[in-house]
Amino acid sequence: MSESETPPDESSDGVEITAEVDSVDSTSATVARSASLAEVVSEPREILEKQKFETDFDLYERLLEIDPELAGTVRAQAQMASGFHLTHPTTEGDQEEPTEDDAEALKDCQQMVQDLDLDLSQPSMFKYMIAMGNDVSKIVYKDGTGITGLQSLPLRSLTIIDEKTKPEIERAFAAAKKEAKTADADDEIDLTTYTDNIPDAVVQSADYYLLNEGTEDMKTIEAWKILHLGTERRGNWFTDKFGRKTYGVWGAPRIEPTKFALQAKHNTLTNKVAMDDSLIAREIYHIDVATLFGHISNDDLREDKAKKYASDLKETLEGMKPDEKPILPNEVTVDVQGPEGKAKEHGDFLDLMNDSIMHALTFNVSGVGRDAGGPYIGNRPAKDSSLNNVRHLRETMGRQLRKLFRMHLLLKHPEWRAEMPDKEDISTWKLRDDIVLPTVEWSNLEDGDVERIVNSATKAYEAKLITRNEGREMIGLDPVPDEQLDRMFQDQRMNMEIQDEFNRRQQERQQENEPDETDDDSDEDEASLARVASTRPEEASTRRGDQLNGPFRDDLVVALDDAVTKLTATLSQEDT
C-alpha cells in the first residue's frame, strides 16, 4: 500500500488528545490530559463556507441534515399538512344523486390513491415542497389499467427546458458526443463542449424535463408525464446547474432566506466551542513518587525515575482514545477538574436565528410546544399565517392530484374518452362532460378550526348572507328539510321566550314580596320549574299552577300565550 493509500488513523475520531507533565520532584509528580473538540464541531462551518455544491438543491438538502431546528420545523409542518380523503361533489348537499359512472370514478380514484400509497407519501412530498419549493415525480401508466406508479425524481439531477430550447439542446448534445469521440475520451459526452453550446435564453415554460442532462444517460420527459408540485412559481427566478435562467418554472425554495441565519448560527456554535476549548475539564494524574519509588534512597535518582515514569505516562495517554483509561498502580490516582471559567453564552442570539428560520417557513412555534417570544410568535396572527401557508400547500397538491385523477380515468376507461386529438399525448385527450372528477377533502388542521367555522357560519346566517342549510354545510353537516329546521328553531325560540318571561315575572315577584321563612323552599321550587320550562313548557305550566297562587298563575299563562303569539307572528313574516 502506497503512502497516499494509507488509511487515516481512526483512533482519534476527529478529537485531538493532549497530555503534559505539570510537575515532578522527589516526592510527587503530576500529568494532565485533555481532549479538544474544536475540530469536531467546526464541521458545520466548513460545510457552509468552503464546500462547493453542484446545485442549490444540494445545499438545501445538506442544511436539512445538519440543522435540527430546521429539519424539525419542516417535518412538523409537513405532517400537519398531510391527511385527505376523496369525496364526490354530488354527495355534498346537492339534490342530484351520483350516477353509476360517478360512483365508479370515485371508487377508481380511491383505489389509485391506495395503490400508490399517497397517504404515506404525503409528508415526504410536503417536505420537499416546503424546503425545496418543488417535488417532482414521473407518472408511470398503462393504457387500459390507469396510473400504476409515481417515480420520485432527484431534484439535483433534473433540469427544465421549453419547446424553443429543445432543438438547441439536442444539437449541443450531438456536438458534445462527437467531440468526445474525436478526442477518444473515456466519457461519451464532452461536458465542456456541451456547456459551451447550450442556449442562454431564459426558459419560461416547463415543456420538457431533462434527467441527467449533459451525460450519456440523459433522458427527455414530456411535461404531461410529470407530476410537479411547485410552490409560488409565478415570478420566481431560478438558475439551474448549467447557469441557465428560468422564470416562473421552478417553485421558490423557502430555505433560501434562511441561509444567512443558518450560517451565522453554526459559526456562532463553532466559535463558542473553540472559546470553551481551554475550559474543558481535564484529567489530572497524581503520582505518589515517595511510595512508588520509595526503595530508591537517593533523591536525585528518585526524581529522575519519576520524570521517566511521568514521560511514559504522558505518551501512553496521548495514544489513547478519549473514552479509554490506562491501567495504573495504586500509587497513581486520577482527579477530574472542571473548567475554571465560562465563555460568553449565545442563547438569545441562537433563539433569534431559530425564530428567523420559522418565520421564513411561516411556521408557528406554538404548534410544536414552544413559545420563543417575538411580536407575532405564539399568538393568533402567527398561527393563522402558519395555517394559511399549509392551506396553500394543500391547494397546490390538490390541483395536481385532480390532474392524476383525470389521467387515470382516461386510461382506465376508454369509453369515457370524448376526444383524442393526439393518441400519443394524453394531455390532449378530453374526458366526457358527464364524468365528474372526485374532490380532495383535507382533514382539519386544528381543533379550533371547527369552532371558528361554526362562529363564521353563525355570523353569516345572522347577517342573512347564507341559508340555514348552507351554514350546516360549512360545518360539515348534512342538509335538513325546511320543515324539520322550522320545528327545531321554533322549539328553541319558544323555550327561550318562556324562560325569559318566567325570569322576568320571578324577579318582579321577589321585589314585591318580603323574604320569609319559606324562601328557601320557594327558591328550590322556582329553580325546578325553570329547568322543566327549558325543555317541557306544558309540564312546567301544570306544575306551576299547583305551586303558585292564583293571580300569579293567571299572569304566567297570559305571558306564555303572548310569547307564543309573538313567535308565531314572527315565523309567519319570515315565511312570507
φ/ψ bin of 438: left (φ > 0), alpha (ψ from -120 to 50), beta (otherwise): beta
Nine-digit cell string for 410: 382516461
Average pLDDT over residues 140-159: 93
Q: Would you say 371 and 365 are in contact if contact means Cβ atoms under 8 Å apart?
A: yes
Among 488-492, 505-509, 561-565, the range with the most confident prediction by mean pLDDT is 505-509
Side chain identity at residue 407, one-letter code = M
Position 361 pLDDT exceeds 80: no
Q: How far apart are the first and last CA of the chain?
A: 100
Angle at 574 between CA 569 and CA 576, to 5 degrees: 95
Q: Comparing C-alpha atoms, which of 358, 352, 270 is closest to residue 70?
A: 358
Position 522 pLDDT exceeds 70: no
pLDDT score recorded for residue 378: 45
For the segment 196-217, what is each residue's pLDDT rounded down to a tens digit? 888 888 999 999 999 999 888 8
CA pair distance 565, 134, nearest whole angstrom: 65
Q: Would you say 298 and 304 are in contact if contact means Cβ atoms under 8 Å apart?
A: no
| pLDDT band at residue 12 under the 50/70/90 scheme | very low
| pLDDT band at residue 261 under the 50/70/90 scheme | confident
pLDDT score recorded for residue 48: 55
Please state, rounded to an integer, the average pLDDT across all residues of the chain: 76
For 183, residues 6+ apart whose C-beta sits below 8 A from its C-beta are 190
CA pair distance 389, 77, nearest whole angstrom: 9
Q: Would you say 253 and 60 are in contact if contact means Cβ atoms under 8 Å apart?
A: yes
| pLDDT band at residue 99 under the 50/70/90 scheme | confident
Which H or E run includes 554? helix 550-575
Q: Write the DSSP string, 190-239.
A: -HHHHHHHS--PPB-S--EEEESTTSTT-EEEEGGGEEEEESS-TT-EEE
| pLDDT band at residue 74 under the 50/70/90 scheme | confident
Residue that wins the pLDDT comparison between 552 and 359? 359
Position 107 pLDDT exceeds 60: yes
For the segment 297-339, what is each residue's pLDDT rounded down to a tens digit? 888 888 888 889 989 888 888 887 766 778 888 888 888 765 5
Q: Would you say 156 and 252 are in contact if contact means Cβ atoms under 8 Å apart?
A: no
Q: How far, CA to CA in Å, does 493 sit from each of 464, 472, 568, 570?
A: 18, 19, 10, 11
DSSP code, position 50: T
- Which range, of 68-72, 128-132, 283-287, 346-350, averages the lowest pLDDT? 346-350
What is the three-class DSSP state of 497? helix
Domain residue limits, the chain: 16-44+282-337, 150-253, 446-501
pLDDT score recorded for residue 367: 44
347 burial via Cβ count (<10 Å: 0-12, 13-18, 19+): exposed
Which H or E run includes 84? strand 84-87
Side chain identity at residue 298, one-letter code = N
| pLDDT band at residue 407 under the 50/70/90 scheme | very high
Side chain identity at residue 355, one-letter code = D
261 φ/ψ angles, rounded to the nearest 5 degrees = -60, -40
- Paired sense of beta strands 430-431 and 417-419, if any: antiparallel
Angle at 150 between CA 148 and CA 154, to 5 degrees: 155
pLDDT score recorded for residue 449: 59
Nine-digit cell string for 245: 435562467
CA pair distance 401, 392, nearest whole angstrom: 14
What is the three-class DSSP state of 321? coil
Q: Write the DSSP string, 231-291.
A: SS-TT-EEE-TTS-EEESSSPPPTTGGGHHHHHHHHHHHHHHHHHHGGGS-EEEEEEEHHH
pLDDT score recorded for residue 574: 53
Within 10 Å of residue 334's Cβ, how many Cβ atoms?
13
| pLDDT band at residue 488 under the 50/70/90 scheme | low
For 331, residues 6+ apart whose C-beta sits below 8 A from its C-beta are 287, 288, 291, 292
337 burial via Cβ count (<10 Å: 0-12, 13-18, 19+): exposed
